[in-house]
Amino acid sequence: MATNRTPYPFLAFLCIFLVILSSIACAVSNFIPQKTPTPGTPTAAATDTSRPSSLPSTTPSHPVTPSGSAVTRQPTTATPTPQPVQTTPGLTSYSNREYGIGFNYPGDWVLKEEPHFIRLQHGSLLLNIGIQHAYEDLYIGPSGVGAGELQNQGTILFLGQSIPRLALLTQDGKVKAVYYNDPGGIQAGSLMFFISLADTNPDAQLVNIPPEIQAVADEIVKSLRLTSNVYHSPGDPEGFLTYSNPVYGFEFNYPGSWAIQQGTNEVKLQSGNLTLSIGFRHLNENVVLSPGGTGAGSFEVRGTVVFLGQRMLRAVKVLNGKVKAVYYNGTYEYQVGANDPALKLTYLINLSDLSPNYDTTDISTSLQAEADRILESFTTSFTLPQSCSDAATLVQDVIPPSSTGLIGGQVFTKTWVLRNSGSCSWTQQLGLVPFSGDLPESVAVARDANVPQGGVSEFSLEITAPTSKGAHQGSWLLYSGNGRLFGVGPNGDAPLSVQINVGEAGVESGLGDPAWRDTFDGSANWYMLATSNVQYAVTNGTLVMTALNAGTADEWNISYQPAIRNFYLEATFKTGAQCSGLDRYGFLFRAPGPNNGYVLGFSCDGRYRIYKWDGANYTGLVEWTSNSNIHSGPNKTNRMGILAQGDSLKLYANGKILTSITDSSYAEGQFGLFIGSPNTANLQVFVDEVSYWNK
């Protein structure tokens, strides 16, 4: 019987072998590691060659204007870094750190960046965005506009300003080019823009830019914005970032823990509820910078910061001993930069706490120091011109005779004699501006037109006394023609002040002229005490009392005036730059001899004390007692008064009665002035005037 056989036995065996081999290969592949892309390395499918990932390594050719002519320019030294980022569908976001700008553009347009130029191309159509700093000595605008007529076709919004849109039309109505603003460019801050839309088709006769392409270009131009330029710089302190604003040409460092927000004319830095607000504009820019509400409290000058090479005052708003805000250069704009108003910058800077509970707000010294450090790190991208310095020295504080006994509504003149100790000449633009206090508006009295360096001039104000009775005070600072606020003294931070008393019945109102007054034109009326602990000297119309050592007991000088019995005696004291606790000053009065009598003192922490001294024994009549009518702290002025009639002694501070006591130990005697310093070495107290009236 015949047997059926499979034909081609070799082929059958080969098929079986291939199946087995395939199974083995699949099994082995499970044990072989597969190669994965290196992190950060794009695969071929992810690479986008339509947009550059970095700048060209070679210098590009000169740009061609719509008219076809080349523009010669100097290459910029800075290297901008394009940063295209995908945004809404179909749009890409571009930012440029060198100039601090950004905009959106369609993804089917090709972006190319060159020094001073950003070019966006769609087919033969080319949107040119030229950028330069206004202070750069070059021109990148078009050399001509080509044949045709420029026609205004409305406006678009560009960086907050409305600019015209000009189309270059030929007689047949074809649009050959579009210029934004005009071929002369657009200035925004310290940046100049030259923006145009053109067609690179070599056959100019065929060029006619379609309306839909013009509309896309308009949207790109309208989307142009300023970007927040925050980056790490190798030279920055550890933990700090650098903010750069190329439009206005400045940058600064700030702690990385602070958040930053940028507006067109303001940068805000926040740490918790604390906000450092930095407003800025060019001098000719029609922008209003506002310090905002200052809140309750009084201003005190607390030092200066060095801002762009100049000292800037720190005006601190204080309420109940708590710091509520810091205003740099007060509430006035601070000017720096070139003489050209288009480039000169003004700043308005303040530090405030936005906590809802104003009563508990107290900005810590450490956070104030951080804000100061931010401001002192400011630099500019342009060279600041050599600037003169503003400084003043108080030659004489002229106290008006009527300031100790005014009636409400009475007008008096207050004068300070100042020496120009800076390098800037004083022009009529320099004057006094109110800083703190409760005195009403004052009127400046005409003075010398120009005061050169080293010159002396009188600064006078006509002031109307308030209608409310009691003590009132006011202080002023000097405001220069370049917007800087400054005071007197070695650091230029001491305000000029005056204190008056209105209608204190029975003491100062109706006193008339004093029986004797000394304004310290010399030292002839006093014994000038000099010991190992204290020194007395008359300088520039002021008696200067100095306690040389901490731990100094009360030591006094004596007036050469004869003994007085019933009187009202008053002196104006001002504490120096250092004064604390029970550091003190005041009167010796009804002293039968140089080493006995009554002693009335005010302390630097706002207390008063009266005791009697018989040369060996201390007897307290009123121990240290706080009183709000005594101005406490350094650089404070107080008027001390004593009404002595028989055995009745009434004590006054700034026209307000402190207390009344009865003591008959000393019926009459001479008077003197004392200083004592338990806390402060080289404590100084200044006396401007001493007067007495017979009663």
Give the model confidence (pLDDT) of 368-381 as tens digits. Answer: 999 999 999 998 87
Cα 544 from chain centre: 35
Q: What is the pLDDT of residue 241?
A: 86
Confidence of residue 136 (pLDDT cuts 50, 70, 90): low
For residue 214, pLDDT over 60 is answered with yes
3 state SS of 608 = strand
Q: Calculate mean pLDDT across residues 503-528.
A: 78
Q: What is the pLDDT of residue 397?
A: 87
Phi-psi region of 489 (alpha: psi -120 to 50; beta: other; left: phi over 0): left
Confidence of residue 408 (pLDDT cuts 50, 70, 90): confident
For residue 72, pLDDT over 70 is answered with no
Write the pLDDT tens digit of every residue in 94-108: 888 777 788 999 989
DSSP 8-state class, residue 211: H
Lowest mean pLDDT across 300-309, 442-451, 503-512 = 503-512
Q: Calculate mean pLDDT across residues 638-648.
A: 94
3 state SS of 359 = helix
* pTM for the predicted model, two decimal places: 0.49
For residue 150, pLDDT over 90 is answered with no
Highest mean pLDDT among 428-442, 472-486, 681-695: 681-695
Torsions phi, psi of 123, nearest 5?
A: 65, -125
Instruction: Strand 442-444: give its sheet, edge to edge.
Output: 392-398, 411-420, 456-464, 442-444
Torsions phi, psi of 45, nearest 5?
A: -70, -25
**Taking every pair of C-alpha atoms in the chain, what is the biggest distance, in angstroms?**
168
Q: What are the structure tokens assigned to 347, written together?
A: 């700043």
Q: What's the burial of 187, exposed, middle or buried (CB within 10 Å: 0-12/13-18/19+)?
A: middle
For residue 210, pLDDT over 90 is answered with yes
Cβ distance 240 to 258 under 8 Å? no
Task: Provide CATH 2.60.40.10 ranges for the chain.
Answer: 392-502
For residue 467, give Cα distances in angstroms to 408, 435, 658: 4, 21, 22
Write the pLDDT tens digit of every residue in 417-441: 999 999 889 998 899 999 988 887 7
For residue 569, pLDDT over 90 is answered with yes
Q: What are the structure tokens assigned to 494, written together?
A: 């001491």
Write the pLDDT tens digit of every residue in 170-203: 888 899 999 998 767 887 766 788 999 999 888 8
For residue 88, pLDDT over 60 is answered with no
3 state SS of 407 = coil
Q: What are the structure tokens assigned to 219, written together?
A: 């949207």
Q: What is the pLDDT of residue 8?
A: 38
Q: Say which residues have a Cβ less than 8 Å from residue 174's Cβ, sequence separation at least 6.
A: 207, 208
Taking alpha carbons only, the member of 418, 502, 419 closest to residue 463 is 502
Highest mean pLDDT among 260-264, 587-591, 633-637: 587-591
Q: Calculate mean pLDDT across residues 555-580.
A: 94
Task: Provide CATH 2.60.120.560 ranges for the chain.
Answer: 516-694
Is the domain covering 392-502 a CATH 2.60.40.10 domain? yes
For residue 127, pLDDT over 60 is answered with yes
Confidence of residue 546 (pLDDT cuts 50, 70, 90): very high
Whole-angstrom distance, CA of residue 357 vs CA of residue 590:
52
Q: What are the structure tokens assigned to 487, written together?
A: 């005071």
Confidence of residue 87 (pLDDT cuts 50, 70, 90): very low
Whole-angstrom distance, CA of residue 135 vs CA of residue 27:
72
- The highest-level CATH class for domain 229-380 is mainly beta
Q: What is the pLDDT of residue 60?
A: 28
Q: What is the pLDDT of residue 266?
A: 93
Torsions phi, psi of 205, nearest 5?
A: -65, -30
Please name the fold of domain 78-226. Jelly Rolls (2.60.120)
| pLDDT, averaged across the chain | 81
Beta-strand ranges (E) seen in 181-255 are 186-188, 191-199, 225-226, 229-231, 240-245, 250-255
Phi-psi region of 217 (alpha: psi -120 to 50; beta: other; left: phi over 0): alpha
For residue 54, pLDDT over 70 is answered with no
For residue 334, give Cα distances in angstroms to 130, 243, 275, 348, 567: 32, 20, 19, 6, 51
Cβ distance 622 to 607 under 8 Å? no
Whole-angstrom distance, CA of residue 573 vs CA of residue 676:
14
For residue 75, pLDDT over 80 is answered with no
Is the domain covering 516-694 a CATH 2.60.120.560 domain? yes
For residue 272, pLDDT over 50 is answered with yes
Q: What is the pLDDT of residue 284?
A: 86
Q: What is the pLDDT of residue 506?
A: 43
Q: What is the pLDDT of residue 542?
A: 93
For residue 404, pLDDT over 80 is answered with no
Lowest mean pLDDT across 231-240, 356-365, 641-650 = 231-240
Q: What is the pLDDT of residue 238?
A: 56
